[in-house]
């Protein structure tokens, strides 16, 4: 009886571990964006229609604007002379 459980339980634990690992990697990629996002967009750019390419461009520019805005907010304000 225990042999039956172990033959089912061990692969189940391995599959769950792999799913957790993939979810963790996916969450990190979404949170940081970074190079994985750039690589994915660049690799699939040839397969996108013109409208889809324009949408990706708008989203990337919007995200870049948010990054620039957050960076400028963190910079100390320089007094004007």
**Could you read off the pLDDT of 3-47 as tens digits, one per residue?**
787 888 999 999 999 999 988 887 776 665 566 666 776 777 677
* Position with higher pLDDT, 73 vs 43: 43
Q: Contact 41/56 with Cβ under 8 angstroms?
A: yes
Q: Can you give the pLDDT at residue 81? A: 46
* Both structure tokens of 24: 């963790």
pLDDT score at 56:
80
Q: Where are the chain's structural domains?
A: 1-32, 33-72
Higher-scoring residue by pLDDT: 1, 28: 28
Provide the 3-class DSSP secondary structure of residue 77: coil
Residue 77: predicted pLDDT:
56
Q: Is residue 75 over pLDDT 60? A: no
């Amino acid at each position: 009886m225990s042999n039956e459980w172990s033959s089912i339980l061990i692969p189940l634990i391995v599959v769950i571990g792999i799913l957790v690992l993939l979810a963790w990697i996916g969450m990190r990629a979404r949170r940081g964006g970074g190079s994985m996002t750039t690589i994915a967009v660049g690799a699939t750019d040839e397969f996108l229609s013109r409208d889809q390419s324009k949408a990706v461009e708008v989203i990337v520019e919007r995200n870049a604007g948010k990054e620039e805005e957050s960076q400028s907010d963190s910079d100390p304000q320089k007094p004007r002379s």
